[in-house]
Structure 1
């Protein structure tokens, strides 16, 4: 399509942007294992989430927004690439997510959001949990996937020994941390700043990095992407001095409150530099809550099941988009996916579809967010946590119906606590009438069989178009774990060094001249 025609269409749905020559900035907040009903604005009566609530009040709250996987690594790959994670090879038969001993990572052939935006002269920063592999030589970390800055923990913080989680010295209330692995690393670029990471001060430092980098980007008038991936609310829960043991809902609510505070810090900094009206803010979660952890694992509300499940609680996630002056506040019932973020940001940044040689599974949904019109997404595929290339997706939904093919032992508990064994080969639900998936449609009507035939054909047709890439979750090597002192013994338990973190890495209230000098002085791609 002609570029001029594309621009005319874009301006037709974004009249305010037509008068603004600046490219929009993008901030993506990604919560970890946050349930559909965890934020107060989605129904949690105990949640202390005023900043998320304010985003929803001033923005567009989605009720049918989906992750591409019910576990973290595949879900994150889908957000960054706009492709079902099985295409990228982020799937495995023996393990569903990356850990410290895996040697693979998100393939470099994939075009991440950061790499796509770089074609339009954007700068990109990644803060927080990566969970897409490290490699032997740190070749899969964010800087090697198009991001210009990185500050965070590359793995899940339960993938290492966990000791102190709540200020000042309260132990973690979780007994499944991987004690045989190296202590968690805090990274700055490709360098280890701290090992083990101090969880009680981590959120404060993440927020400081975000604040500093926003100031820096504001000084240079550079369009930017800030991808802020929280460690919260993955177990073990943790919180610093501001929030530890401060909420009536216990440790999970403390953790949730600390997450919300970080959202507020970023939004306040955008406002301080008059950037908010030129910044699209996206808040979402990678997948559903870890219900096995009971009160420490989140809240899926009316949605059935949670993390690791193909029921709605595993895939349907709280999602809010906010852009003052551009997005009208409201609630959207449109069917959308994490897969749709990549093509939408491509459009908003000024690129064309054929600027990139990539097969996407997402759609541009700018018409939904700016005009509140119908989504062009027709289906959502559901893959199990350990997909089989011979089978492909095991479920699909369209605007109304959903089928999935699951065996009796895989059905999670009903809301009444009992277990149910479904005998038909496919379970069929009407998600518009029964989003809780409490009642599978009866198979004694003609309507059931005609709908089932339509859905099974749709599942086969859509799933067969998704080609599995070679799995990158196959090769393990205990020596691949990152260590601040690689020669120490006994490895990897000895990997403990004095923290090299300094607040000077992230200066605040900096002058624009000082910011540019700092950027030249501190190379972000060095390694220790």
Structure 2
């Protein structure tokens, strides 16, 4: 598709506006849902002629550099409403069910304490109305969101995602239904009618109205629609045309009311489109909704105000953001801007009214996707002048673009502009650290002697615990800070969606200033009630932290069938830094301290002792369908009538993960037994113990799924101190945990540093072994390494398997240095927190001394397994593979990532550098013979991919949905796929590929020489950008205008590889034609030669050097025709024969590179034409 040009400036400017108080204009903001930048035809769209939107532009002013405040609905609307970056108020993504809001570290609704444009305008005399989508709180299972009127609106009518949806629009608890009185396709008309009615009733005063339609958000439903086409461009065109018609009807309504001449109408959108139809809806900007690239955040903007704003002006110079509208419109309306919170927006009234085309003087910031597993872009962005930088908070994945010359964000020039990059990177990360959830936590202060009538807004206005719980019901992100002392509760505290923190002395201003050891905070049930209980059958974000919960007892008739002595908790609850003691159950009920009732519950850094259950679960009972995770806890001296003296399991759906914990001297069914299902010590669901010490006879702890489990008994004890539960100096639990399994907690239960000595301890208390021991992060590995050695030096080189076990316990990433040779692996390597380097001879002291071209380091799957697999595919990893040959891998059914990936499966943050992937394959129709890229951003640099075979798509590399893979200076040749992507396969429209300085040729996809294709469509997939690359492909992805200096290869127009491999011959079009911006990625090419040998960098993995290039055994030379391998004397190497014609015809074979197996290091000659016996 040809790139549509940005609109250019025209028309003269009008005089500076000055409005009398009596002539203040009406202000209408039309905020369209999921509007693509080029959906309107006046911004380059061609789906339908948007006549009425175009008329708005003709009668007003358009901005071509207008930005939303976030690339997704809820936070974008928060930015518009408050004039502040939404992350400050804890709204980071679209608002969902409570449990998912908690997982995304966001509140359930926008606090009504936040600034509101409507409130400010109402205070100055405006009548205010909101008609349309809200999505800033309410809906799903959030029932306590404030009314829309709390934000300054006099009237409203809204949809399902609001605190009080219009019943005509919401017959069900979902976005739309066929049973709605007002059908989906009539909603915009309904909101237009509501707006015009409001205006007709308030003609005697200025009005401010938020008119926020559901259109053009999917599903695109129209009268008589075809459900199968609800995300097609055909359906979009129908819905877009109806939206345009209703805007025309609205504008005519203003004229009919006689108010159109003094009404400001603003037309924009909340965020970019989804789907974007291959950039067609985003003006070919990169990205879409849910990304911080331009396609997700740059929006169309039109403002019309007759006789005040110049007609037909298109300003492509000024940068304006949605947060600027609050102060700008207040300036125009003569309203005061609130000062209780500093706005991020700045007054741009002169720009939006056409009085100026000045450049912005303050930077803009965005945050989106910190907790999003499949984020496509980095989660922080800054725009300052002509520069835009994207980066993650940990400093990774830095991208820099020049918005003047590269507004499509094709060319990452961060490496070429180090000073600018460093400045903006620091600014972006500093802003994020300052802004993230700055005003999100609503603290209610409580003391034992608190005033029941106080509002709890400070320690001096501290209230009671019971009153605080009532106040918390009206807050999002409520935190109850409790002063030390004893709180005797006479009725259960219903703790849904509230975080309770103890350990304060009533002077603290920060959560980090408290001390739960010196300021004990006790919640006492008095032997009459269960102190904490969640309402059931709902998800909750309950947090209990720094409390002592004691003397609780279950009550007949209480929820959860009366279980739970100290507490009953639901899905999403977290217990941290707590002590549960002397709680009990009666009448055979379960869970003396805690009954875990539904979903997933986490208990960390806590102590349970002296609790007694008349049923099962002397401390904790895990109900059916529950997964409870217990980390660094201690359980001792608890007892149960059932077999679970510490942990009770309800049924086969009760699951328990125990990490770094101790359970000892707990009595179940009359014997020392810490674990058991209600009627069977060996029953229940999945139980996993890792780095834990447990006294139990249950076979659940000996069934093979436990790791570093210590079996305790009355003779093998944890060695507690006399009269307590801290560890003695000789305890086997000291330095016996795994910090990688621990929670992000700085202190143990005694307020000592949580990590002391060489490793974290088991249990709730850390033995003070002094400062953490920072060990050597390098583990030396050799093919003949000693399993008993620790790998600290080459003389103490260990085996690869033992090195992986050691690396798993490292507090930071581990670096594995692999000596040359072949490592045949029988189980996949999980390098989530590892950097693995090959190319060592076995005496190097620095990375710079190695030579990966000379000292070949081979990871061999032996045709049985996939050698490299990230374990947690949803988490960020630090994986780096550098200087390795990955070969003979094959995917396995049932493996993570849906079984994709023959050589490797990688996830966000992984990097491949200086590697060769050869002879890997997939079976059973799976994708990515060499690598399957699962999530996030993955980089592949200076590497070679040959002779890999996929039974699905992606003969070499498959890019999954939500992935952006960046491939730099790589060569991909002689790979095969059943799908259309012989080298690169794309999974979905959210699969994105950047190919820089790379060669892909002679790869076969779906029987043709084709290096690229989406699973079922050679032209499908997400954004594909080729810069200075040479690719053989028929895909239109390389002719859509997104590519620069691209060479179209074919069987006639070749990269001119040498006869002996994949290096370039003199005269190759790939020599000196790469982009030098990527020259710093690798100092050397894959053969160890200087990366810049000529005037410019070459394309591909090998840099051309004048003269004859010999082949050594690490270069898979057989590439294009039959051949055999000979040594330099001309003798044929036994067992290494010619390649058959069937192989050349791309038949699916198991070992297309088998002729290279077993070759010793040396120089060989390849004869491709004829086999000489």
TM-score normalised per structure 1: 0.70
Pair 228,138 (structure 1): closer, same or farther in 2 beyond 3 Å: farther
Q: What residue in structure 1 maps to residue 821 of structure 2? A: none
Q: What residue in structure 2 maps to residue 97 of structure 1? A: 94
Pair 352,53 (structure 1): closer, same or farther in 2 beyond 3 Å: same
* 2:388 is aligned with 1:373: no
Contact kept? 1:34, 1:298, Cα under 8 Å: no
Q: What residue in structure 2 maps to residue 455 of structure 1? A: 424
Matched residues in 2 for 1:216 and 1:308: separation? 39
Contact kept? 2:56, 2:303, Cα under 8 Å: yes
**3-state SS of 1:26 partner:** strand
Q: What residue in structure 1 maps to residue 239 of structure 2? A: 255
CA offsets, 1:30-53, max 9 Å, x none? 111111111101111122311111
Matched residues in 2 for 1:31 and 1:282: separation? 11
User: Which shows bigger deviation, 38-47 or 469-478?
Assistant: 469-478
**How far does residue 424 in structure 1 lie from its aligned partner after superposition?**
7.8
User: Which shows bigger deviation, 55-64 or 205-214?
Assistant: 205-214
Matched residues in 1 for 2:356 and 2:314: separation? 9
**How far does residue 23 in structure 1 lie from its aligned partner after superposition?**
1.4
Contact kept? 1:335, 1:378, Cα under 8 Å: no
**3-state SS of 1:291 partner:** coil
CA offsets, 1:82-138, max 9 Å, x none? 0111111212xxxx2113667931101112111111111111111111111127656
Q: Which of residues 380, 400, 403 is equivalent to 2:389?
A: 403
Q: What residue in structure 2 maps to residue 433 of structure 1? A: 405
Q: What residue in structure 2 maps to residue 332 of structure 1? A: 315
Contact kept? 2:75, 2:94, Cα under 8 Å: yes
Q: How does 1:112-191 map to 2 (within 5 A)?
A: 112-134=116-138, 139-155=145-161, 182-184=173-175
Q: What residue in structure 2 maps to residue 87 of structure 1? A: 88
**How far does residue 373 in structure 1 lie from its aligned partner after superposition?**
3.5
Between structures 1 and 2, the one with greater helix share: 1
Q: What residue in structure 2 maps to residue 204 of structure 1? A: 189
Pair 153,372 (structure 1): closer, same or farther in 2 beyond 3 Å: same
Contact kept? 1:133, 1:141, Cα under 8 Å: no
Q: What residue in structure 2 maps to residue 72 of structure 1? A: 73
How many residues are paired up? Answer: 408
* 2:311 is aligned with 1:361: no
**3-state SS of 2:80 partner:** helix
* 2:298 is aligned with 1:320: no
CA offsets, 1:265-297, max 9 Å, x none? 2211111222122111111110001127x48x9
Q: How does 1:372-521 map to 2 (within 5 A)?
A: 372-386=356-370, 394-405=380-391, 425-441=397-413, 443=415, 445=416, 448-468=417-437, 469-470=439-440, 472=476, 475=497
Q: Which of residues 13, 16, 19 is equivalent to 1:13?
A: 16
**How far does residue 14 in structure 1 lie from its aligned partner after superposition?**
0.3
**How far does residue 382 in structure 1 lie from its aligned partner after superposition?**
2.5
Q: Which of residues 274, 279, 282 is equivalent to 1:290?
A: 274
TM-score normalised per structure 2: 0.33
Contact kept? 2:160, 2:173, Cα under 8 Å: no
Contact kept? 2:369, 2:379, Cα under 8 Å: no
Q: What residue in structure 2 maps to residue 23 of structure 1? A: 24
Matched residues in 2 for 1:270 and 1:479: separation? 46
CA offsets, 1:190-222, max 9 Å, x none? xxxx8575213323322221221221122xx11
Matched residues in 2 for 1:477 and 1:42: separation? 51
Pair 376,55 (structure 1): closer, same or farther in 2 beyond 3 Å: same
Q: What residue in structure 1 maps to residue 583 of structure 2? A: none
**How far does residue 240 in structure 1 lie from its aligned partner after superposition?**
4.2
**3-state SS of 1:453 partner:** helix
**How far does residue 463 in structure 1 lie from its aligned partner after superposition?**
3.9
Contact kept? 2:379, 2:392, Cα under 8 Å: no
Q: What residue in structure 1 maps to residue 1051 of structure 2? A: none
Q: What residue in structure 1 maps to residue 455 of structure 2? A: none
CA RMSD of aligned residues (A): 3.5
Contact kept? 1:184, 1:196, Cα under 8 Å: no
Pair 22,449 (structure 1): closer, same or farther in 2 beyond 3 Å: same
**3-state SS of 2:382 partner:** strand
> Unaligned 5+ residue runs, structure 1?
1-10, 160-164, 166-180, 187-193, 408-422, 481-528
**3-state SS of 2:435 partner:** coil
Contact kept? 1:393, 1:463, Cα under 8 Å: no
Pair 70,399 (structure 1): closer, same or farther in 2 beyond 3 Å: same
Contact kept? 1:112, 1:146, Cα under 8 Å: yes
Instruction: Using CA pairs under 8 Å that are at least 6 residues apart, name the structure with larger relative contact order, 1 or 2.
Output: 1
Matched residues in 2 for 1:154 and 1:123: separation? 24
**3-state SS of 1:395 partner:** strand
Matched residues in 1 for 2:410 and 2:436: separation? 33
Q: What residue in structure 2 maps to residue 177 of structure 1? A: none
Between structures 1 and 2, the one with greater strand share: 2
**How far does residue 456 in structure 1 lie from its aligned partner after superposition?**
2.2
**3-state SS of 1:47 partner:** coil
Matched residues in 2 for 1:42 and 1:343: separation? 26
Contact kept? 2:414, 2:421, Cα under 8 Å: no
